[in-house]
Amino acid sequence: QVQLVQSGAEVKKPGASVKVSCKASGYTFTTYGISWVRQAPGQGLEWMGWISAYNGNTNYAQNLQGRVTMTTDTSTSTAYMELRSLRSDDTAVYYCARGAIQFRPPLFNWFDPWGQGTLVTVSS
């Protein structure tokens, strides 16, 4: 079955960086894009950006431009999200989510499935 498995919880100090992985299985990795979505404690969902696993094209949310980098390793069917210059308000559960339609960016698309989530805590 299609599955996304994320790396484990992280605790980081303000100003540090974090890199979260998302390993895909059950489908041809390069035919779907991966988005990253985060959820602060008790809050709603925020889309962070998208990467095409086909050609590496990216589209980042404007408020994270310059701090976030999304990459893929097609040899291991793994997507990565790195967030730099961490602040306390970056504390959240970070999810990867596959686009439901092959080769299509998040526009006119939906997210299915999702990874299990990775808690990133930023605290001094």
Partner 1 sequence: DIQMTQSPSSLSASVGDRVTITCRASQSISSYLNWYQQKPGKAPKVLIFATSSLQSGVPSRFSGSGSGTDFTLTISSLQPEDFATYYCQQSYSNPTFGPGTKVDIK
Q: Which residues bind partner 1 (CB under 8 A)?
A: 35, 44-47, 59, 61-62, 95, 97, 100, 106-117
For residue 37, the minimal CB distance to partner 1 (Å) is: 8
For residue 43, the minimal CB distance to partner 1 (Å) is: 9
Q: How far apart are CA 15 and CA 80, in angstroms?
A: 19
Which among 12, 10, 11 is positioned nearest to 20, based on CA atoms?
A: 10
Residue closer to partner 1, measured from CB, 16 or 102: 102
Residue closer to partner 1, measured from CB, 54 or 111: 111
Side-chain-side CA neighbours of 47 within 13 Å: the count stands at 17
Residue closer to partner 1, measured from CB, 54 or 114: 114
Q: How far apart are CA 19 and CA 124, in angstroms?
A: 18
For residue 103, the minimal CB distance to partner 1 (Å) is: 15
Burial 67-88 (b: 16+ CB within 10 A, else e): bbbbebeeeebbbbbebeebee
Fill in the amino acid letter for 111: F
Residue closer to partner 1, measured from CB, 5 or 17: 5
For residue 75, the minimal CB distance to partner 1 (Å) is: 26
